[in-house]
Amino acid sequence: MPPDETTSSYQTLIPTELAIPSNQSPVPSSTVPGQLQEQFPIGEHAIPVAPVKVNLIPLGLVAFAVTTFVASASNAGLFSGASITVDLAILYGLGGSIQILVGIDALRTRNSFAATAFCSYGAFWLAVGTIFTPASGILAAYNAATLPPALGFFFLSWTIFTVLMTLATLRTNWALITVFVLLSLTFLLLTLGAFGAGTTVIGGWLGILTALVTAPLVWYTATHRFELVMAPASAVANPIPLGLSALALTTFVLSADNARLISAPNIVLGLALFYGGLVQLIAGVLAFRVRNTFAAIAFCIHSVFWIALGLALWQNLFLNIAVVTYFLVAWTIFAALAGIVSLKTNIAFIAASFLSVFLTLLFLALGALGGGTSIFGGYLGMLTALVAWYTALALLLVETQSPFRLPVGSRSRG
């Protein structure tokens, strides 16, 4: 399709009037150099007064590489898998929290691709840490027969997301493309291994290779101030791909349980709290910053849904079917109202964010009322996730100035 359609649809979601001139000085010219020279006299040990743009990309890459190396060493059998609980500090602190902070800073510098990548993989490590945290009760909810399928759908969701991110790197550089290709293969092998194909050890070694290949990127971005994309496609940050990715992946895993493909929903606990919850809330707050009220309200409200669901699973608050029913009915009403408001955006955004979400919640609510539609609602939720991923990729392709675009079905304003 012509690039103009996707670009125009993208611009209906993100206003461009907030561009800040890059040459704007934070200090009035009248104070330079007179007043500043009195405070910081020029000499052998003069203190520079020019603002310096901090580049946190190397920090995020280090966090990604180190955590991936340690976890992959466990998958490769270099040390006991049970001992990974000793490395929870790495999962929560370095791989999780640091990458999310770098992702937030990437949105500040208008690098939506880096923001989506770092925040998403930061949430991944927080979710992995939650799985291995005894207090979460996730491992206790499964046995030797039911845990592998749950982990399989967990890794499958990240395989899909990483493949989509790989497509968004095609206009960047070979080093970054190589990292994402290797990471996609790593997740694929871990997925197949969880489903019984015996590829987990190979996936571990491939993960180690992924971490080692990331090392040159760390050096280059630290010494050459290199960005992860060629150039931002807009003058303001776009948090929508991040919010849609969080919505899609968390919905995919939970819907696998609703479709009875896994035995219990506990595997989604970390994702609900940190990806669908925390990261989607970050996307919503940043959407307020760029004056996109609709996306801000949608992401913030959906983040509350996932946080509430995660806490309910963790603390066993769904005591009976009546509680689940009222919970689902309330969110079905909100999804219906949001779907009406979304009619002025674009077809993909309507389908991804609200129409399919509304239908999913509706069938789940009817199932809780005894209508027998819960399994269908689960499969519909998995379809919802795929459409949301599609929309997120379409927007990222615009951000990275990809050689190809995906249609999103622009709607004229009437």
Write down the domain spans for the chain: 57-399
What integer is the mean pLDDT of 362-376?
89
Has residue 410 got a pLDDT over 70?
no
Q: Work out the pLDDT band at 24, boundaries 50, 70, 90.
A: very low
Q: Work out the pLDDT band at 270, boundaries 50, 70, 90.
A: very high
Q: Work out the pLDDT band at 74, boundaries 50, 70, 90.
A: confident
Please indicate whether residue 141 or residue 290 has the higher confidence score (pLDDT): 141
Has residue 231 got a pLDDT over 60?
no
Has residue 175 got a pLDDT over 60?
yes
What integer is the mean pLDDT of 11-22?
40
Kindly report the three-state secondary structure assignment for every residue of the chain.
CCHHHHHHHHHHHCCCCCCCCCCCCCCCHHHCCHHHHHHCCCCCCCCCCCCCCCCCHHHHHHHHHHHHHHHHHHHCCCCCHHHHHHHHHHHHHHHHHHHHHHHHHHHHCCCHHHHHHHHHHHHHHHHHHHHCCHHHCCHHHCCCCCHHHHHHHHHHHHHHHHHHHHHHCCCCCHHHHHHHHHHHHHHHHHHHHHHHHCCHHHHHHHHHHHHHHHHHHHHHHHHHCCCCCCCCCCCCCCCHHHHHHHHHHHHHHHHHHHCCCCCCHHHHHHHHHHHHHHHHHHHHHHHHHCCCHHHHHHHHHHHHHHHHHHHHHHCCCCCCHHHHHHHHHHHHHHHHHHHHHHHHCEHHHHHHHHHHHHHHHHHHHHHHHHHCCHHHHHHHHHHHHHHHHHHHHHHHHHHCCCCCCCCCCECCCC
Has residue 6 got a pLDDT over 60?
no
As a whole-number percent, the residues of the chain with pLDDT over 90 amount to 41
**Mean predicted lDDT score pLDDT of the chain:** 81
Q: What is the pLDDT of residue 84?
A: 59
Q: What is the pTM of this model?
A: 0.82
Please indicate whether residue 298 or residue 236 has the higher confidence score (pLDDT): 298
Has residue 392 got a pLDDT over 70?
yes
Q: Work out the pLDDT band at 414, boundaries 50, 70, 90.
A: very low
Q: What is the pLDDT of residue 7?
A: 45
